Amino acid sequence: MSTVVDGVGKAIGRADDRAPISSLLKDNLRKVFPDHWSFMLGEIALYSFIILLLTGVYLTIWYQPSMQEVVYHGSYQPLVGIPMSEAYNSALHISFDVRGGLLIRQIHHWAALFFMAAMVVHMFRIFFTGAFRKPREFNWVIGGSMILIGLLEGFAGYSLPDDLLSGVGVRIVAGIIESIPVVGTYLLFFLFGGQYPGHDFIPRLYTFHVLLVPGILLASVGLHLVLIFYHKHTQYPGPGRTNDNVVGFPLFPVYTAKAGGFFFIVFGVTVLMAAFVTINPIWAYGPYVPDQVTAGSQPDWYIGFVDGALRAFPNWESENFLGHTWSWNILIPCVLMPGILVALLLSYPFLEAWITGDTREHHLLDRPRNAATRTALGAMAITFYGILVINGANDIVAQAFNLSINQLTWFTRIGVFVFPPLVFIATRRFCLGLQRRDRDLLMHGRESGQILRLPHGEFIEIHTPISDDEKAVILAKRDIAPIEAPPATDENGIATPGLRAKKWRAKLSNAYFGENVKRPTLAEIEAAEHHHHDEVAHEIDVLHEAGAPIPSELTD
Amino acid sequence: MTSTSVRRNKATGLVVLLAGLVITGVGYAAVTSTAEASVAMYSQTQIDQGKQLFQQGCATCHGLAAQGSSEGPSLIGVGAAAVNFQVATGRMPMAQPANQAPRKVPVYNDDQIAALAAYVASLGPGPAVPSDEDLNTTDANLAEGGVLFRTNCAQCHNFAGHGGALSNGKYAPSLMNATPRQMYEAMLTGPQNMPVFNDKTLPPAEKRAILKYINELQTAPSPGGLALGSLGPVTEGIFIWTAGLGALLAVAVWIGAKVR
Amino acid sequence: MSNDHKTDIATTGIVEGDIVEFPLPPHHHRLTDTDPRAARRAERQVSTMFILSGLCIIAFIAAYIAIPETSYLNLGPAGTIQTSNFMLGLTFGLATLLIGIAAIHWAKKLMSDEEIVDYRHPVGSPQEDRDAAKAAFDAGVAESGFVERKMVRRTLLGALALFPLPLIVLLKDMGPLPGDSLRHTIWRKGSRIVIDVTGQPLRPEDMQVGSLVSASPADLKAIQEADGDQNARAKASIILVRMKPSDIVSEQGEGWSWNGILAFSKICTHVGCPIALYQQRTHHLLCPCHQSTFDLADSGKVVFGPAARAMPQLPITVDSEGFLVAQSDFQQPVGPSFWERA
C-alpha cells in the first residue's frame, strides 16, 4: 500500500467520526458514468468556469476598478503620457508590467469564450438528444439560465478594461437602456450614476462581475451537478442499455482519471492558446474616449446575435399621443427578440411535453432522427441565430469578401425569415428519410451490393441482416401517437371544458408527429424475416436445380 | 458573365489605346499653350513628358486637358501629391470601372510618375509631393500620434490600420503596405472617399506623429502571440469555434473511444 | 393530478410492450489486459508524461525568473511576440496538458475497461413519503392557524408585500434624476469650435472642400477637468465637413452652415456610437457599429440602417475674429432616442 493511499484512508477515518463521509462514499464512489464524446461538452464549460475563477482571482490582485483619470507611465511606449482611466491603466499594467500577467489575462479571456461556446454546444447535445425531457426539465432551465447569465458576465468582463472597443460597447448598452419605455432614462441615470459615462459605472460593473454574478453562477453550477448526480446520467440506446439502467465506467477510478484528466487538458489547451494567440489586445485599442471609435467595432461572439439583429432591424420609431418615443428599432432587436428567444428556450421542455402528451421518465436518449420535428426546430433556431451572428460581423464579412454591407444587411433582413423555415423543412425531410431507412434495415436488412442473376434471368440483390447491436439501437425507438381532438360534447351532451386549447394541442401534436415513420412491430419484423427466408429458400432451390454453386451469403 | 465583361474590357482597352494615340498626335500643340509650370521643382521636359503620358493613359477619363469628364474628375488643382499617390499605389490608371480603385502594382515607373505629377502640378496650384523632411518622424510624438490616429483615422482604417468596410462595397484600405509618403499624400489630397486633412486642420507636425504611430502599427510586435488579423473579436470568435473547440472535441472523442 | 397522467397516456397511445432487450455485448480484452509487456509499456508512457510535466513546471519557473517582460521573440512570418508570455504559456500549458493526457491514457489502457451496470430508481419520492410529508405539512398549517386566522394571514401577506420596498427605495441615490440634462450640451452661443486633440481654433478658410475635422467646444477641456468625467465630451463632440455650397441639398435650419462648412453631432442617433466615417464624395456618414448612414448634404437625414433620426446639426457662424463658433446649442437632444424625447 502506498503511503498516499494510507494517508487518505486515515484522513477519511478521522473525518468519518465527525461527518458521514463513508456513507456518502459507499454509494457514490462506484457511481456509473456512460462513455461518449458528446457527454464531455458540459465538462468543457465546467472546467472553463473553474479556470475563470482561478485566473479571475489573479486579475483582481492588480486590477483597479476606477474611472479616475491618470496619466500612463508604464512600459508600453505608444501610450506613455496619455490620460486614461485607472481601470485601463491597471489593465495595461497587468499586460506589460506584471510578469505572466498578460498570460493570465489571455487565459481568462480565452476561457470565457470557451465557457460560452461549450455551454452552447452542450445545450445542442441536450436538445437534439431529448435529454431535457422528464425528469430533467429543471436542469434544462438552470443550464439555459446559466448561458444567459454567462452572457451578462462575459459582457461585464469585456467592458472592465475600459479600452476603446469595450467603451463603445458600453456606450451601445447605454443607448439600448435609454430606449426602454417609461423607465429607460431613469434606469440609465441610476446604473451610470448620472449621465453617460459618469464615473460610477466601472466600479459597479466590477462588483457585478466578480461578486454577484460568479456567486449566482457558482450556485447554479452546484445545483446543476447535484441534479445530474441524483438523476444519474442519460445514455444512448444500445445493447444492454435500457431506460432503467446506466451502463458505463465507475466514477472511481476510471472517471476520476478521465474527467480529472480532461480538466487538465482543457486547462492546458486554454493556456497554450493564451501563449500562442492574442486575444483582446487592449493596448492597441487605446483608452476609451467618447468621441473615438474604431472600424469593426464588435462585441465578443456570444453578444453577436443581438448586435446582428440591431444592425439589421429597420429604422422604426414612433411617438405616442403624449409625445413619448417608442424606439422599435432598438426595443425589438435588443429587448423583445432576445426575450422571446430566451422564453422559448427555457420553456421548450414543457411546451414539447404538452404537445406530445409524454409524461414518462426518459433516461434513454433520442436519436435526433427519431424526433424529426424537434431536430428540425433546433436546426431552424440555429439557422436564425447563425444568420444574426454573421450579420453582427457584416462589416468584417464585407471587408474580407469584398461585399457590400448594405447588401449584406438586406440579405439578413430577408434571409432571417426565409432560411430558417427552409432549413426546418429540409432537416425534417432528412430525419424522416433516415427513419425510413432504419425501418428498411430492420425489415429487410442491409443491401449487400451483390447482385445475383438467377438462371431464369431474374436479378436479385442479396440483403444481409443487420447486427444485434444495430438492432438494439434502432429498436429503441418508441412511437407516440398524436393526440386526437376530443369531441365538442361528451356522450351526455356536456361541452368539453377547454375545448379550444385541446383542439390546438391536437393540431400541434399532429404537426409534431404527423409524418413520423412507425418503427415496425416485432411481428412485422418476424413476418418480413420469414418472407426473406422463403425467398432465399426459393433461390437456393432454383440454383440447385440449375446445378449452379450456391453463394455463401445465402446459406448464412 | 465574368468572361464577357473581361472581353469587353479588353476591347475598351484597345479603343482607349487607339484614342490615346490619335489624341496625342492631334491635340498636342493645342493644349500645351495653356499649361504653365507653376511648380519650380519640375523641369519643362518633365512636364512635356508627363503631358504625353497623360494624354496616352489618362485623358480618356480625365479629359484631354485634365478638365474631367463623366468618367473621371477634373485634375486641375489636385496637385502633384494626388498624382503621386494615385499612380504610385497603382490605383490609377484604373483597370476597370469599380466602386473604388484598388491598390495594385504601379503601371508607371518613378520617372514617369514624376513626369505625370509635374504635368498635373503645372495645371494649377495644389499640394506638392511631400519632401523627405516632411516625412521625417524623428522628433514626432508617438503617443500623440496614437491619439490623433484614433480620433481621425481609426474610424475607417481600424485601430490597427487594417482597414474596414464603407457603404455599398467601398472600403478604407489597409495601411500595412502604405509608405509614409503615400499616407501623407492621402491625408493632403483625400483620395476617393477619404476626407481631406489639409495642413491647416491637421498641421504637418501632427501628420508626422500619425505617420510615426502607423509605422509602429506596421512594425510593432504582437505581444500576446498571433494577431489573428487584428480585426477584433470576430476572428477571436472564429478561432474559439474552430481551433479551440475543435481541439477539445478531438480530445473528447479520444476519451470516449474504445481501446483495442 | 394523477388522473391527468392517465388520460394523457390513454390519449397518446404510446407504443409499449414491444421493448426488445439485447444483452450487453461480451467484453473484449485489450492488448494491455492480455500482454504484460504492453501494460508495462503503457505504464512507462504514463509515467514519462508525468515526469515531462514536472520538467515543464521547472522550465516555467526558470522562464519566470530569467525572461523579462521586455524581451521579444521573432517567430518569422507569425510575427514578433513577447517571449515571457510565450515561454510561460508554453511550459505551463504543456505541463498541464501532459498531466491530462497521462491520466486519460492511464484510465484507457490500465484501469479496468469492463463496463458495469447501475440500476436506476424512480426519481420521485415514493407515495408514502409524499403522504407523510403532506401530513406533516397539514399538521403544521393546522397548528399555525394560518387558515382559520384570516386576520393574521392577511396582515402577514400585506407586511411581506411592503417589506421589499425599502430595498428598492434605497437604490434611489444610485444616480441623480435625469431632469433635462439629456437635452443640453455645453455648446452655447459664441462657443468657439476647436480641433480635437490639438485644441486649435478654426477659421473657415482652414478647411477645404472635402475636409473633415473632429472638433469640440473650446471650453470642453476646462469643463472636463472641473467635472472629473467625460460626460460633457460624450455629448458635445462634433464633426465639421466642408462641401461645395452647391452640393448642399438642405439643412436643418436656415443659415446654419458657413460657406459650405457644416457641423454635425458626432454621436449616432441610434445607440450613440461616435461617427466620423465621412465619405467625402457622397457626403455620407457611416456608423461603424450598426451601419446607419446619414446624408450630411441633405440635413443629415438617414439614408440607410437602423437609426431613425437625422444627425443633429449644430448651427455655426464666424465671430468677429474670423473663427468658427456655434450660433447656439443643438436645437434637439443629441445621441440615442429616449422615452421623454419628443
Residue by residue, DSSP assigns A237-271 as -BTTB-TTEEEEEEIIIIIHHHHHHHHHHHHHHHH
Residue C121 in any domain: the answer is: yes
Same structural domain, C169 and C191: no
Q: For the segment C199-226, what is each residue's pLDDT rounded down to a tens digit? A: 999 999 999 999 999 999 999 999 999 9
Query: What would the grid cell of residue C26 be?
Result: 461480451
Q: Which CATH number applies to B148-220: 2.60.40, 1.10.760, 1.10.3470, 1.25.40?
A: 1.10.760
Interacting residues of C144 by C-beta distance below 8 A, sequence separation 6+: none
Kindly indicate the confidence band of residue B43, based on its pLDDT and cuts at 50, 70 and 90.
confident
Q: Does A231 touch chain C (CB under 8 A)?
A: yes
Residue C334 in any domain: the answer is: no
Would you say residue B222 has pLDDT above 60?
A: yes
B254: chain C residues, CB-CB within 8 Å: 104
Residue C42 in any domain: the answer is: yes
CB within 8 Å: A188 and C178: yes
Would you say residue B30 has pLDDT above 70?
A: no
pLDDT at B25: 46
Kindly indicate the confidence band of residue C327, based on its pLDDT and cuts at 50, 70 and 90.
very high
Query: What would the grid cell of residue C109 be?
Result: 489502457
Question: Rounded to the nearest 5°, which phi and psi values hold at B94?
Answer: -70, 140
Kindly indicate the confidence band of residue C13, based on its pLDDT and cuts at 50, 70 and 90.
very low
Of B41, B201, A117, A201, whose CA–CA distance to C201 is shortest?
B201
Cα separation, A235 vs A125, in Å, equals 12
Helix (H, G, I), strand (E, B) or coil at A85: strand
Element (H, E) at B114: helix B110-123
**Average pLDDT of chain B to the nearest whole number:** 85
Out of A40, A81, A299, whose CB is closest to B233?
A: A299
What chain A holds in terms of domains, given with CATH numbers, is 31-361 (1.20.810.10), 435-555 (no CATH)
Q: Does B169 touch chain A (CB under 8 A)?
A: yes
Counted domains in chain C: 2
Size of chain A, expressed as the number of residues it contains? 556
pLDDT at B99: 78
Same structural domain, C201 and C156: no
Residue C92 in any domain: the answer is: yes
Q: How far is B260 from chain A (nearest CA, A)?
A: 15
Q: Which residue has the higher pLDDT, A535 or C267?
A: C267
Q: Where exactly are the structural domains of chain B?
A: 8-123, 148-220
Would you say residue C234 has pLDDT above 50?
A: yes
Residue C93 in any domain: the answer is: yes
Phi/psi class of residue C96: alpha, beta or left (left: φ > 0; alpha: ψ in -120 to 50)?
A: alpha
Q: Does B44 touch chain C (CB under 8 A)?
A: no
Interacting residues of A483 by C-beta distance below 8 A, sequence separation 6+: A356, A357, A505, A506, A509, A510, C11, C12
* Greatest mean pLDDT range, A320-324, B38-42, C52-56: C52-56
Same structural domain, C95 and C238: no
What's the N-to-C CA distance of chain C in angstroms?
53
Same structural domain, C312 and C214: yes
Residue C164 in any domain: the answer is: yes
A68: chain C residues, CB-CB within 8 Å: 228
Q: How far is B249 from chain A (nearest CA, A)?
A: 8
Same structural domain, C37 and C112: yes
Q: How far is A135 from chain C (nearest CA, A)?
A: 7
Question: Rounded to the nearest 5°, which phi and psi values hold at B227?
Answer: -90, -10
CB within 8 Å: B155 and C104: no
Domain region containing C263: 181-326
Element (H, E) at A546: helix A522-546
pTM of the full structure: 0.92
Same structural domain, C139 and C71: yes
Helix (H, G, I), strand (E, B) or coil at A74: coil
- Nearest chain C residue to B196 by CA distance is C211
Of A97, A103, A109, A79, whose CA–CA distance to A287 is shortest?
A79
Q: Does B156 touch chain C (CB under 8 A)?
A: yes
Out of C79, C104, C275, whose CB is closest to B221?
A: C79
Q: How far is C167 from chain A (nearest CA, A)?
A: 14
CB within 8 Å: B247 and A292: no
CATH number of B8-123: 1.10.760.10
Cα separation, B253 vs C6, in Å, equals 42
Would you say residue C15 has pLDDT above 70?
A: no
Estimate the share of chain C in helix, then strand, then coil, as percent rounded to the nearest 5: 40, 15, 40
Out of A96, A300, A394, whose CB is closest to B233?
A: A300
Phi/psi class of residue B190: alpha, beta or left (left: φ > 0; alpha: ψ in -120 to 50)?
A: left
Cα separation, A402 vs A413, in Å, equals 20
Out of A35, A274, A278, whose CB is closest to B228?
A: A278
Question: Rounded to the nearest 5°, which phi and psi values hold at A85?
Answer: -75, 155
pLDDT at B31: 37
What's the N-to-C CA distance of chain B in angstroms?
57
Q: How far is C169 from chain B (nearest CA, A)?
A: 39
Would you say residue B148 has pLDDT above 90?
A: yes
Q: For the segment C284-307, what is each residue's pLDDT rounded down to a tens digit? A: 999 999 999 999 999 999 999 999
CB B148 within 8 A of CB B158: no
Cα separation, A194 vs A388, in Å, equals 33
Q: What is the largest CA-CA distance in chain C?
A: 100
Would you say residue B38 has pLDDT above 50?
A: no
Sign of the dihedral through C-alpha B115, B117, B120, B125: negative
Q: Does B67 touch chain C (CB under 8 A)?
A: no
Interacting residues of A466 by C-beta distance below 8 A, sequence separation 6+: A441, A442, A445, A446, A474
> The domain spanning residue C257 has which CATH number?
2.102.10.10
CB A58 within 8 A of CB A109: no
**In chain A, which stretches have pLDDT less than 70?**
1, 548-556
Out of A186, A323, A358, whose CB is closest to C12?
A: A358
Indicate the residue among C174, C200, C223 that finishes a domain.
Answer: C174
Cell 518622424 belongs to which residue?
B137
A195, A252, A517, best to mutate vs chain C, most C CBs in 10 Å: A195
CB A167 within 8 A of CB A288: yes
B251: chain C residues, CB-CB within 8 Å: 104
Indicate the residue among C126, C143, C174 that finishes a domain.
Answer: C174
Kindly indicate the confidence band of residue B11, based on its pLDDT and cuts at 50, 70 and 90.
low
CB within 8 Å: A393 and B234: yes
- Nearest chain B residue to A100 by CA distance is B224
Residue C95 in any domain: the answer is: yes
Helix (H, G, I), strand (E, B) or coil at C125: coil
Of C169, C328, C314, C341, whose CA–CA distance to C252 is shortest?
C314
Question: Among A175-189, A314-328, B86-100, B239-253, which is the least confidently predicted range?
Answer: B86-100
Same structural domain, C167 and C218: no
Q: How far is A506 from chain B (nearest CA, A)?
A: 40
Interacting residues of A364 by C-beta distance below 8 A, sequence separation 6+: A234, A235, A236, A237, A241, A242, A243, A476
Report how far Cα A254 is from the mean position of its chain's Cα atoms: 27
pLDDT at B20: 53
pLDDT at B12: 56
Q: Which long-range contacts (CB under 8 A, 24 or more apart) does C39-43 make?
A: C39/C109, C39/C110, C42/C105, C42/C106, C42/C109, C42/C110, C43/C110
- Nearest chain B residue to C84 by CA distance is B223
Cα separation, B96 vs B90, in Å, equals 13
B159: chain A residues, CB-CB within 8 Å: 164-165, 284-286, 294-295
Query: What would the grid cell of residue A179 be?
Result: 430606449
Residue C8 in any domain: the answer is: yes
Q: Does A71 touch chain C (CB under 8 A)?
A: no
Q: How many CB atoms lie within 10 A of CB B19?
A: 14
Sign of the dihedral through C-alpha A135, A140, A143, A148: negative
| B79-107: average pLDDT | 89
Same structural domain, C167 and C185: no
Which chains contact B through at least 3 pairs of Cβ atoms less than 8 Å apart?
Answer: A, C
Interacting residues of B13 by C-beta distance below 8 A, sequence separation 6+: none
Distance of CA A70 to CAs A75, A79, A96, B143, C198, Å?
15, 12, 17, 15, 20
Q: Does B244 touch chain A (CB under 8 A)?
A: yes
| C267-293: average pLDDT | 95
- Nearest chain B residue to C30 by CA distance is B260
Name the burial class of residue A17, with classes exposed (0-12), middle (13-18) and buried (19+) by CB atoms within 10 angstroms of its CB.
exposed
